[in-house]
Structure 1
Amino acid sequence: MHVDYKHRIFGLDVFRALAILLVLFSHTTLLLFPNKESFVLEVIKFFGAIGVDLFFVLSGFLIGGIILKQIHLNKTAFKDFGYFWVRRWFRTLPNYFLILLVNIILYFIFFRKVISGIGHYFLFLQNFSEGQADFFTESWSLSIEEYAYIIGPLVLFLLLVFFKNSSKDKLFISSVVVIICLVTFLRFDFHLNNTLTSDHHWSKELRKVVIFRIDSIYYGFIGAFFSINYSTIWKQYKVWLFFSGIFLFFVMHFLVFWYDVKPINAPLFYNIFYLPLVSISLVLLLPLFSNWNHAHFFKREITYISILSYAVYLINYSIVLLTIQYFINLSNASIVTKVGVLIVFWFLSFYLAYLLYVFFERPFTNLRDSKFIKDKFN
């Protein structure tokens, strides 16, 4: 697999690789210890959830940077935003729809039926305003990302139309703040009208729902705004900001653990404040990671994991893990059996992701640079 290292930032590859590895370790606990609970397993699962948050803020940071550079070049016509969307969709949609179809086929083979509401998945509506069905469960985060990529640029375009003489940078950050405030209001409305019954209820009905979570992407947009418009501060204080993010993240979660703070006994904190604070703490890590350009160890391996991360994310749980669980019951399996299954799970997750990337994802991604696409938007 050929990689052009000149156009990659190693620190962001580390960020992305860390995110997918945290998700994989979390899913490993679900595979090997499906009916077991312990403090260690809960910590691993928790960091798996944080892995998704890492993806959110990184996606927002990268996409926000692309949009900012676009408006700085005065590419603010609707066709310019259309070109942005088309490029993004060539990167994300082919993989998503292929894996969705594979999930539908496997579900039909195993259970001889198709779940109700399957059409919602083709429009990313399966978790738009409420928790989605227990099918292709990892797709919840993809819905959030897709709507964030649509809504943010659309709001910005409208502001650019109505406030033509205003600073484009101010309109960019204004659009982000407006969306974050709106999402916060929707979470507050959820808080007033819902009684949480468990951690799972909170996760399914709020943490994994589009209208309550797209702000996670826009905190990454704020990071992009500061990295471009205040680049000196972004670089000069990268270490200080990194340790501030680490401090915020671990002190908050130490207090949550120490005082046994949970959604069921502290719903206001979890419904309104917890997820934004996690996003902010992770954004504070980006100045250091985005300025980390030199690798002294495992450069190729980390870069490969980063490149395959999207394919791995789509494949590892619904395709590999659930298929293994369908054929093998590991609840009372021996250590030898579990080690063997563990090796198979990790190998298949990366090998199938490699095939998906090389023969499907990369060819479609390359199409966005084709003459046909460029001519349509020039």
Structure 2
Amino acid sequence: MSSTRINRVFGLDLIRSIAIGLVVMSHATLLAFPNSKNPIFTGIRILGAIGVDLFFVLSGFLIGGILLRHIELQKTSADDLYGFWKRRWFRTLPNYFLVLFLNVLIFLFLGNNLPKSILLYIPFLQNFSTSHPDFFTEAWSLSIEEYAYLLLPFLLFFSFKFFKNSNKEKLFLWITLVSIFCLTFLKVLYYFSAEINSYNDWSTSFRKVVIYRIDAVYIGFLAVYIVRKYSKIMEKFKLHLLFTGLLIFILIHVLVYSFNLVPQSSLGFYVFIYLQTIIFSLALLFPYFSALNYSGVFFKPIKFISVNSYSIYLVNYSIVLLGMQEIFDVFNKSILQKIGLILLFLSVSIIFSNIIYRYFELPILKYRDRKYKRG
């Protein structure tokens, strides 16, 4: 869910803004219409899940690009890898631990019991191979990204030492492909051992578990490799790829709706096809958006949302939404009052996240950029 503060690309800021918008709007429906089965709200909630998938591909695209730049600059030593991790950790960990601490305080203030696995949140192990606890639920995706940043870069830099005379860009491609292939075996094990009775069972035990989802980030690695390696072809066909990605995205959901595909009766589809197709369709958008430039009237609002997106993601549900549910009885509100609650939810999420960005996140990023130069 991170962003790069210099050399910004408008198209990637737009993707980030779309992703956080989908997530927040899906949460807004849970606030105002928590038990509604209306197809419109169901669709918005599905798009919220897609928003997180979009974040995964975007993160892989950005981080893969940084690793490829390291390769171009021949910064492939152990010190360079550690420097890469330190910059990542300065970007992701302070906000995470701040919001984790706030969640703990709120839980204790409300008299709730903390999960027994609370200490596992520190090394991001709370959903490594099992379902995420019902506490600070946004953290499930952060665990996936953190281990994605650890695993493949380590394998990549290790391979540079083992295959000293090999083409390092080709190693980047093959290590990424092999990692994705090997992770598929974990999905096979899940398929033969899981007992699924609902969409929620599948979502918590598979969609939100680290070992089954980090390959989504690595699809972003492949996307940035292809965009950079075949830049002329990507430039020529970027619109074709954009519409192909959108078409695949629409068709897979038409298939789900038409045949009433649900995890409890079509587990193989949801384990091996659905998410992979979604991630692939999203990756096809990046040749277009990574080359998109714009400086019109919407530039500043989109940049604002983009730079605040990480903080918005962290606070909008566990702190703002659940806090409002403690204060307001949404079941006895009129439609106009519920719309007012949604507007309040959006406003508080943006204001609170901007305070965190300005007075906590941004100073830390400035310190990082002084201390550890960008690769």
Name the TM-score class by shorter chain. Answer: over 0.9
How big is the shift at 1:6?
A: 7.7
Partner of 1:44: 44
**Comparing 338-347 and 163-172, the one that deviates more:** 338-347
Partner of 1:327: 327
Cα deviation 1:288-310 (Å, max 9, x = unaligned): 10110124341111110011100
How big is the shift at 1:113?
A: 3.1
- Return the alpha-carbon distance in structure 1 between the equivalents of residues 6 and 270 of structure 2: 42
Where structure 2 has 5 or more consecutive residues not aligned to the other structure, the ranges are none
Q: Structure 2 vs 1, CA of residues 99 and 6 (structure 1 numbering), >3 Å: closer, same or farther?
A: closer
Cα deviation 1:294-346 (Å, max 9, x = unaligned): 24341111110011100000010001000010121201212232122222111
Where structure 1 has 5 or more consecutive residues not aligned to the other structure, the ranges are none
* 8 A contact 1:249–1:278 mirrored in 2: yes
- Return the alpha-carbon distance in structure 1 between the equivalents of residues 179 and 37 of structure 2: 38
Structure 1 segment 1-16 matched on structure 2, within 5 A: 7-16=7-16
* 8 A contact 1:35–1:331 mirrored in 2: no
- Return the alpha-carbon distance in structure 1 between the equivalents of residues 169 and 100 of structure 2: 38
1:353 aligns with 2:353: yes
* 8 A contact 1:32–1:342 mirrored in 2: yes
- Return the alpha-carbon distance in structure 1 between the equivalents of residues 256 and 36 of structure 2: 23
- Return the alpha-carbon distance in structure 1 between the equivalents of residues 298 and 159 of structure 2: 45
The amino acid of 1:11's aligned partner reads G
Structure 1 segment 163-182 matched on structure 2, within 5 A: 163-182=163-182
- Return the alpha-carbon distance in structure 2 between the equivalents of residues 182 and 311 of structure 1: 33
Partner of 2:115: 115
Structure 1 segment 264-343 matched on structure 2, within 5 A: 264-343=264-343
How big is the shift at 1:112?
A: 4.4
1:141 aligns with 2:130: no
Partner of 1:125: 125
- Return the alpha-carbon distance in structure 2 between the equivalents of residues 314 and 196 of structure 1: 29
How big is the shift at 1:269?
A: 1.1
**Comparing 43-52 and 155-164, the one that deviates more:** 155-164
Cα deviation 1:250-301 (Å, max 9, x = unaligned): 1111111111111111111111121111111000000110110124341111
* 8 A contact 1:13–1:306 mirrored in 2: yes
How big is the shift at 1:369?
A: 1.6
Partner of 1:250: 250
Partner of 1:82: 82
Partner of 1:153: 153
Secondary structure class of the residue paired with 2:331: coil
Where has structure 1 moved over 4 Å in runs of 4 or more? none
How big is the shift at 1:174?
A: 1.1
Secondary structure class of the residue paired with 2:79: helix
How big is the shift at 1:7?
A: 2.1
* 8 A contact 1:95–1:311 mirrored in 2: yes
How big is the shift at 1:221?
A: 0.3
Secondary structure class of the residue paired with 2:366: helix
**Comparing 260-269 and 41-50, the one that deviates more:** 260-269
Structure 1 segment 160-239 matched on structure 2, within 5 A: 160-239=160-239
The amino acid of 2:256's aligned partner reads V
- Return the alpha-carbon distance in structure 2 between the equivalents of residues 6 and 168 of structure 1: 26
Partner of 2:369: 369
- Return the alpha-carbon distance in structure 1 between the equivalents of residues 89 and 368 of structure 2: 9
- Return the alpha-carbon distance in structure 1 between the equivalents of residues 6 and 135 of structure 2: 39
How big is the shift at 1:5?
A: 9.4
The amino acid of 1:370's aligned partner reads R
The amino acid of 1:136's aligned partner reads F
The amino acid of 1:256's aligned partner reads V
The amino acid of 1:253's aligned partner reads H
Secondary structure class of the residue paired with 2:332: coil
Q: Structure 2 vs 1, CA of residues 5 and 355 (structure 1 numbering), >3 Å: closer, same or farther?
A: closer
- Return the alpha-carbon distance in structure 2 between the equivalents of residues 87 and 112 of structure 1: 35
- Return the alpha-carbon distance in structure 2 between the equivalents of residues 331 and 173 of structure 1: 52
- Return the alpha-carbon distance in structure 1 between the equivalents of residues 23 and 337 of structure 2: 22
How big is the shift at 1:229?
A: 1.2
TM-score, with normalisation over the residues of structure 2?
0.96
* 8 A contact 1:242–1:284 mirrored in 2: yes
* 8 A contact 1:90–1:367 mirrored in 2: no
How big is the shift at 1:111?
A: 2.1
Partner of 2:22: 22
Q: Structure 2 vs 1, CA of residues 198 and 230 (structure 1 numbering), >3 Å: closer, same or farther?
A: same
Q: Structure 2 vs 1, CA of residues 232 and 276 (structure 1 numbering), >3 Å: closer, same or farther?
A: same
How many residue pairs get aligned? The number is: 372
